[in-house]
């Protein structure tokens, strides 16, 4: 790893553009290395992780590792590499995709084994998953003065607001709103 390369700043992402980049959280990597190392010396931890003592020390202190070192450290930490990236553009990840990501990041599974489990998981999910109705937005009202109200008033007010909400929903469904 070149010392100059680790000091290069990451480009500022444009979270709305088509070329959005992910942010690498080097501080989180360093923190997790320290936590995982625990009472081990830096030399012991580096040997376990399969990286040099000096590289382990620099990364723990906040230097950006090269790709090979990064993947070895992720394997030693037993976390997927994606754990250290913040997407520039967020997208909702389904529970099925999350499970599949965890399978492929598991160092105990070969790529072929993870793919086989993924196939079975997808088939089961398609067979058993049910479509759900979109959740209705809840009506919320924050009453700062609720503790100062007479007993029973907050509940009556909540009932009144719920009735109003129900009436507004009926009007909206009928197209009168």
Q: Kindly state the DSSP code that residue 62 receives in the 8-state scheme.
A: T
Q: Does residue 153 fall inside a structural domain?
A: no
What is the count of structural domains for the chain?
2
Q: Does residue 147 fall inside a structural domain?
A: no
User: What is the extent of the structural domain holding 15?
Assistant: 1-91
pTM value? 0.41
- Write the pLDDT tens digit of every residue in 145-169: 656 667 777 778 778 888 888 888 8
Are 98 and 80 in the same domain?
Answer: no
Q: Provide the β-strand partners of residue 23.
A: 86
- Write the pLDDT tens digit of every residue in 70-96: 999 999 999 999 888 876 665 678 888
Residue 10 belongs to a domain with what CATH number? 1.10.260.40
The C-alpha angle with vertex 111 and arms to 106 and 112, in degrees rounded to 5, equals 125
Are 42 and 96 in the same domain?
Answer: no
């Amino acid at each position: 790893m070149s010392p100059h390369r680790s000091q290069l700043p990451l480009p500022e992402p444009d979270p709305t553009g088509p070329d959005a980049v992910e942010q690498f959280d080097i501080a989180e990597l360093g923190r997790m290395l320290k936590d995982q190392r625990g009472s081990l010396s830096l030399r012991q931890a580096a040997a376990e992780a399969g990286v040099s003592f000096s590289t382990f020390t620099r990364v723990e202190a906040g230097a950006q590792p090269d790709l090979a070192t990064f993947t070895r450290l992720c394997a030693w930490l037993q976390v997927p590499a994606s754990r250290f990236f913040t997407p520039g553009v967020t997208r909702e990840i389904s529970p099925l995709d999350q499970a599949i990501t965890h399978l492929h990041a598991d160092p105990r599974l070969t790529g072929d084994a993870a793919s086989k489990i993924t196939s079975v998981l997808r088939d089961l999910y398609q067979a058993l998953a049910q479509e759900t109705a979109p959740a209705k937005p809840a009506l919320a009202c924050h009453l700062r003065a609720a503790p100062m109200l007479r007993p029973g008033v907050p509940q009556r007010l909540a009932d009144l607001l719920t009735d109003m909400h129900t009436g507004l929903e009926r009007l909206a469904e009928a197209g009168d709103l």
